[in-house]
Structure 1
Amino acid sequence: MPTPNQAALDFLLNRRSRPAKTLTTPVPNRAELETILTAAARTPDHGKLEPWRFIVLEKPALNRLAALVDQRGNDLGIDPDKITKANAQFATADLVVAVISAPVDSPKVPQIEQVYSAGAVCLALVNAGLAAGWGANWLSGWASHDRAFVTEGLGLAEHEHVAGFIHLGTEKNAPPERPRPDLAAITTWVDA
C-alpha cells in the first residue's frame, strides 16, 4: 500500500489560480523565483531534451511589451477592446515568467510530446508559485501567437512559441471558488 503525501494531495485538490488582474506587489525576489523555477523545471521531459525555457519579465520589460501590444494590435486591426485587455495583461503586471516552447530535433521524441511538456511546465510553475504562497495565473492571448510580437518583444527564434505567460505576485483578494468538471461526464472506465 503506498504512503500518501496528504498535504500535497490536499493542495492539488484545493488549488486555485489567482486572476492576474488581482495580483500586486510584492512579487517573489530572485532567490524565491529561482526555487519556483527549479520546481517547474522538474516537469516530465521525455529524452531529457529540455524543450522549453524561461524568460523572466520584470516591470520595465512588461511596460515595453504593453506598448508593443498597442502597436501590433493597431497594425493587425485588432478590436480596440481586445488591444486594451492584452495591454493590461502586461501593463498592470509586476512579474511574469514567459514559458517558451522550444522543441529540439529528436528521432525518438515527437515534437508534440515536447510541446505537451512545455504546457506541463506552465502548470508546474503555477502550482509551485501557489505552493510557495504567491498568487499565480497562466495567461496567453492573441499577442502570444503573433509572430512579430514574440520575435520583437521576446527575441524568440522561428521554431519557438509562447506556451504561457505565468503571472506571479501577491493577491489582493481571494477569488471565489468556481464550478469544477463533472468527473463522471469526462471519465471513461475501460476494464476489458
Structure 2
Amino acid sequence: MPEPRPEVLDFLLTRRSHPARTLGLPVPDRAALAPILRAAARSPDHGKLEPWRFIVLERAALTRLAALAERRGRARGEEPEKLAKLRAQFAEAHLAVAVVASAKPSGKIPELEQTLSAGAVCLAALNAALAAGWGANWLTGWPATDRDFLTEGLALAGHEFVAGFIHIGTRTATPPDRPRPDIESITQWVSE
C-alpha cells in the first residue's frame, strides 16, 4: 500500500511560477542554491549520463548577457518591442540558472531522451526553488538556441543549448492563477 504524501501533492497541485520581472532581492546565495540544484539533479536520467549541467548567472553576468541579447537580436532582425522584453529578461534579473542540455554520445540512450531529461531538470529546479520559498520562473526564448549567443555568452560547445533559464528570487507580487487544462479533454484511457 502506498504511503501518501498529501503535503507534496498539494504543493504540486497549487504551485505557481512567478513572472521573472516580479522577482527581486534577495536571491539565494550559494548555500541556499545548492539544495535546489541537488534536487534538480535527481531528475530521471536513463543511463546515468547526466546530459545536462548548470551555469549560475549572477548579476554582472546577466547584465553582460542583456547587452549581448540586444546586439544579437538586432543582427537577427528581431522586432524592437520583443527585443526590449527579451533584453529585460536578463537586464532586470538578479539570479538565473542556465540548465544546459549537453547530450552525451550513447549507443543506448537516444539524444531525444537526453533532451527530455534536461527539461525534467528545468522543472525540478523550478519546483525546488518554489518549495524552498523563493519565486521562480522558467524562460527560454531565442537566446536558448542561438549559436552565436550561446558561444559568445556562455561558451557552450556546438552540441549544447539552454533547456531553460530558471530565474530565482524573492517574490514581490503574487500573480493570479491562470486557467488550467481540462484533464478530461486531454486524457485517454486505454484498457485493451
Task: Give TM-score scaled by structure 2 length.
Answer: 0.99
1:108-143 CA-partner distances (Å, limit 9, x unpaired): 111100000000000000000000000010000122
Instruction: Supply the distance in 2 between the matched residues of 1:157 and 1:96 (Cα, whole angstroms).
Output: 20
Range 75-84 or range 115-124, more displaced: 75-84
User: Which secondary structure does the structure 1 equivalent of 2:47 belong to?
Assistant: helix
Task: Give TM-score scaled by structure 1 length.
Answer: 0.99
Q: Which structure 2 residues correspond to residues 35-50 of structure 1 after superposition, within 5 A?
A: 35-50=35-50
Instruction: Supply the distance in 1 between the matched residues of 2:145 and 2:49 (Cα, whole angstroms).
Output: 23
Instruction: Supply the distance in 2 between the matched residues of 1:138 and 1:74 (Cα, whole angstroms).
Output: 24
1:71 to partner: Cα distance:
0.6
2:184 corresponding residue in structure 1: 184
Moved over 6 A (4+): none
1:80 to 2:90 alignment: no
1:124 to 2:118 alignment: no
Q: Which structure 2 residues correspond to residues 1-192 of structure 1 after superposition, within 5 A?
A: 1-192=1-192
1:30-80 CA-partner distances (Å, limit 9, x unpaired): 001011000100001000000000000000000000000111011111111
- Give 5+ residue unaligned stretches, structure 1: none
Note the aligned Cα RMSD (angstroms): 0.6
Instruction: Supply the distance in 2 between the matched residues of 1:144 and 1:158 (Cα, whole angstroms).
Output: 13
- Give 5+ residue unaligned stretches, structure 2: none
- Which amino acid in the other structure matches residue 160 of structure 1? E
How many residues are matched? 192
- The percentage of counterpart residues that share the same residue type is 63
- Which amino acid in the other structure matches residue 139 of structure 2? L
